[in-house]
Amino acid sequence: MAEPNFAEHSWDYLERGSVLVVTLSGPANVRLMDPENFAAFEDGEKYAFHGGIARRAPYRLKVPHSGPWFLAIDLDGLPGRGVRHEVSIVPPQKLEERRA
């Protein structure tokens, strides 16, 4: 079996409004998907996602609805051989505290 050409992160539950903060060592595709779309992504089928090409770090993605989520980070269509990354989550409550 071939190695996947993407880094995967998954969460059983993320709350709507949470923000994923992705720190990258270079440009990469950052795709946030629900389980159904992630399965289609893995199978090479048509899928929908939130995110896009992250050219600057940190790259922030807001979780559109509560539930399970998958994050794929890859270099498909981009130059380079690898990218280091780190992902952290800022819950909605922390965002509200920052605004206060």
Q: Which residues pair with 85 in a beta bridge?
A: 24
Q: Which residues of the chain have pLDDT under 50?
A: 1-3
Phi-psi region of 29 (alpha: psi -120 to 50; beta: other; left: phi over 0): beta
Smallest CA-to-CA distance from 74 within 40, 32, 12, 14 is with 32
Please state the pTM of the whole predicted model.
0.85
| pLDDT tens per residue, range 78-90 | 877 778 899 999 9
- 36 half-sphere exposure, CB direction, 13 A CA radius: 2
Q: What is the pLDDT of residue 2?
A: 40
Ranges of each domain in the chain: 6-99
Angstrom distance (rounded) from CA 16 to CA 18 = 6
Q: What is the pLDDT of residue 84?
A: 87
Domain 6-99 is found in CATH 2.60.120: yes
Q: What is the pLDDT of residue 98?
A: 56
Q: What is the pLDDT of residue 96?
A: 55
Q: What is the pLDDT of residue 3?
A: 45
Residue 73: other Cβ atoms inside 10 A:
20
Q: Which helix (H) or strand (E) holds 97?
A: helix 92-99
Angstrom distance (rounded) from CA 97 to CA 100 = 5
Residue 35 structure tokens? 């389980």
